[in-house]
Structure 1
Amino acid sequence: MVEKIKETNESHPVVPRTRIEKENMLNRLKRIEGQVRGLQKMIEDDRYCVDVLVQISAVNAALKKVGFTMLERHTRMCVTKSVRKGDGESYMDELMEVIQQFSK
């Protein structure tokens, strides 16, 4: 049942994102993309290992923030809506799988 939900969510979100939500998420991802390009340049320029590691840590933190934002939104919107519609069990199972994967 979880596989079916994943297929459905990819093409039709349970609760579509607002324009502002999309813009905010895309802006964050673009900033992260810039940070990754900066990391590439640091490697090309033979920057000090600790400086590179600090930047890698910053990118990881930024990605985790994006992920937690998405996880919170999914829980508050998509899962809550599914529970109210009586389809909560499968979405809760899916949510637990995602949380487990995300926390690795």
Structure 2
Amino acid sequence: MNEERNKAMLALKISKGQIEGIIKMLEEERYCMDVSNQIIAAQALLKKANMLILKQHIHHCVKNAVKQDNGEEKIDEIIEILSKITDK
């Protein structure tokens, strides 16, 4: 596994723990603002993981496809996924 994937895996594992903690907070009827802050932190980690995966994809898959003169499909994939991120 390359460095970006390792970092993404770590961020996802941490966010998994945060989400489990958030569920417990809700079950314990903790203060709403504390819960919301934890949700924001988990979202930030998920975003970070996604960016690391996209970085890895661009540096490896897209780069290799462009070298082989068939990169247009990979570039279109990146544009499509970026539009999903920015449409929110």
TM-score w.r.t. length of structure 2? 0.87
Q: Equivalent residue of 1:47, what SS?
A: coil
Residue equivalent to 2:13 = 30
The residue aligned with 2:27 is 44
Instruction: Give the aligned CA root-mean-square deviation in angstroms.
Output: 1.5
The whole-number CA distance in structure 1 between the counterparts of 2:15 and 2:64 is: 31
Higher relative contact order (CA 8 A, sep 6+): 1
- Gapped regions of structure 1 (runs ≥ 5): 1-17
1:65 matches 2:48: yes
Offset of residue 57 of structure 1 = 0.3
Deviation at 1:29, TM superposition (A): 1.4
Number of positions where the alignment pairs a residue of Structure 1 with one of Structure 2: 87
TM-score computed with the length of structure 1 as normaliser: 0.75
Question: Given the alignment of the two structures, is residue 82 of structure 1 paired with residue 65 of structure 2, yes or no?
Answer: yes
Q: Report runs of 4+ in structure 1 exceeding 6 Å deviation.
A: none
Amino acid at match of 1:72: K
